[in-house]
Amino acid sequence: MNLYHPVNIGSLELSGNIFLAPVAGYTGRAYRSICVDEGADFGFTELVSAESVIRGRPDMKGEEDPSPVSVLLRRADNEKCYGVQLFGAEPERMAAGAALLARWKPDVVDINGGCPVPKVIKTGAGSALMKESDNLGRVVEAVVRASREHLGGVPVTIKIRSGWDSNSINYRECARIAVEAGAAMVSLHPRTRAQGYGGKSDWSLIADLASRLPVPVTGSGDLYIPEDAERMFRETGCAAVMFARGAMGNPFIFSTTRAFLTTGSYEPPDAAQRIAMGFRHLERLAADIGERAACLEMRKHFCAYTKGSRGTQGSKGGAGLRNKLVHAASIEDYRLLLHDMP
Ligand SMILES: Cc1cc2nc3c(=O)[nH]c(=O)nc-3n(C[C@H](O)[C@H](O)[C@H](O)COP(=O)(O)O)c2cc1C
């Protein structure tokens, strides 16, 4: 069986099933464009609050509007399709936020049902949506209606966790309600809100959901190397996989995973290739938000690009280099720090 294959999210036909997960602070348009270059079949913006989309509107002066909301929401130049992830708890506010996405023409609107951050859950959004599954259904319904009326009916999807905590594992119920309300895909990160990002994700829950739902289930959790993706496909029967932490500083994960799934082998990038990719990322980010802001934001990314991780051949430098990288403030600083690497 060929594990790498096309997948349909509602009316959207994707040629492959290796996705970039939404990751706050990492999956901006510059990075998504790098991932598209490396063969990602689909990617999501980070979570964006429906309220900020609504409030941001009066400030938007045109296509080149540089307001943070606008930068967060824009499609990358080479992105044939992408999803915008919204968070919020109020069905009508989520619908209003979704309707305003029309100017960015997303191909999918994804609803965040998994974020564990206090600032988000105290508003009833993110993983707190799973505590009120009736409201979760109303949110999906409202966004589906907004999509039909304002976005040409693009598919609405949802990303959830296994539940709020170990006493309330309710991913089945939440997924069923979401699909009944019109969700065209469910992504499952099988950790509870209480687990945060620690411990191990329980892939058996992805298998369980994939066997029950009439729509594609995308699996998330502990995907770091191509072999992980292959194992997730085999063990769970999910329609697609999404890389999150495993894609940070490693956009090569998309090309290597595709190679592994289709040929059985892959060539890991060496340290020099990873650093060169970091500079490509920096250039695109600087074109979007200016050199200074890009250099500050790239500190964490360069730490990731220079980190020896499973599936790469490691890199010289280590902790000492990363201590210096977190002070870099110009492209020249990065060049000086990285010029004799690897
Ligand atoms: C720093 C960070 C930010 C994240 N931001 C989001 C987000 O904006 N929206 C979302 O649905 N999930 C978010 N996630 C969850 C990931 O998409 C993914 O489901 C999770 O990290 C599990 O995958 P992994 O173990 O392979 O990293 C975030 C995770 C991390 C570590």
Q: Which atom of ligand 1 is nearest to the CA of 201?
A: 25
Which residue's CA is minimally distant from atom 5 of ligand 1?
A: 23
- Residue 327's pLDDT is what? 92
Å from CA of 104 to ligand 1 middle: 23
pLDDT tens per residue across all 342 residues of the chain: 699 999 999 999 999 999 999 999 999 999 999 999 999 999 999 999 999 999 985 444 554 555 678 889 999 999 999 999 999 999 999 999 999 999 999 999 999 999 999 999 999 999 999 999 999 999 999 999 999 999 999 999 999 999 999 999 999 999 999 999 999 999 999 999 999 999 999 999 999 999 999 999 999 999 999 999 999 999 999 999 999 999 999 999 999 999 999 999 999 999 999 999 999 999 999 999 999 999 999 999 999 999 863 333 344 457 788 888 999 999 999 999 998 665
Q: Which residue has the tokens 């829950």?
A: 205
Q: Rounded to whole angstroms, what are the CA distances from 5 to 14, 17, 108? A: 9, 6, 19
| Residues 85-113: b if buried by 16+ CB within 10 A, e if exposed | bbbbbbbebbbbbbbbbeebebbbbbbbb
Sequence-distant (6+) residues with CB within 8 A of 270 are 312, 313, 342
Q: Rounded to whole angstroms, what are the CA distances from 187 to 174, 183, 207, 294? A: 12, 11, 12, 30
- Residue 59's pLDDT is what? 46
217-220 and 186-192 as β-strands: parallel, antiparallel, unpaired?
parallel
| pTM (two decimals) | 0.94
Q: Which atom of ligand 1 is nearest to the CA of 246?
A: 26
pLDDT in tens, 203-235: 999 999 999 999 999 999 999 999 999 999 999
Number of H helices, E strands in the chain: 14, 10
- Residue 339's pLDDT is what? 81
- Residue 322's pLDDT is what? 84
Sequence-distant (6+) residues with CB within 8 A of 327 are 299, 333
Q: Are 121 and 115 in contact (CB under 8 A)?
A: yes
Å from CA of 24 to ligand 1 middle: 7
Q: Are 240 and 261 in contact (CB under 8 A)?
A: no
Q: Which atom of ligand 1 is nearest to the CA of 243?
A: 26
Q: Are 185 and 217 in contact (CB under 8 A)?
A: yes
Q: Alpha helices of 161-265 — where are they, by DSSP H?
A: 171-180, 203-212, 226-236, 252-263
- Residue 68's pLDDT is what? 74
- Residue 323's pLDDT is what? 86
- Residue 65's pLDDT is what? 58
Å from CA of 222 to ligand 1 middle: 10
Among candidate residues 186, 263, 138, the one with its CA nearest the CA of residue 9: 186
Distance, in Å, from the CA atom of 98 to the CA atom of 156, rounded to the nearest integer, reads 10
User: What are the residue numbers of the active site?
Assistant: 115
Å from CA of 22 to ligand 1 middle: 6
Distance, in Å, from the CA atom of 226 to the CA atom of 267, rounded to the nearest integer, reads 11
Q: Ligand 1: residues whose CB is within 6 Å? A: 21-24, 46-47, 85, 112, 114-115, 159, 189, 197, 220-223, 244-246
Q: Which atom of ligand 1 is nearest to the CA of 110?
A: 11
HSE-CB for 80 with a 13 A CA cutoff: 11
Of 23, 87, 108, the one to substitute when testing ligand 1's pocket (max ligand atoms within 8 A of C-beta) is: 23
Å from CA of 225 to ligand 1 middle: 16
Sequence-distant (6+) residues with CB within 8 A of 328 are 295, 298, 299, 302, 334, 337
Which residue's CA is minimally distant from atom 28 of ligand 1?
A: 23
- Residue 318's pLDDT is what? 73
- Reduce the DSSP state of residue 38 to 3 states and report it: coil
- Residue 220's pLDDT is what? 98
Neighbours of 187 (CB within 10 A): 29
Sequence-distant (6+) residues with CB within 8 A of 109 are 83, 84, 85, 86, 98, 101, 143, 147, 151, 154, 155, 156, 157
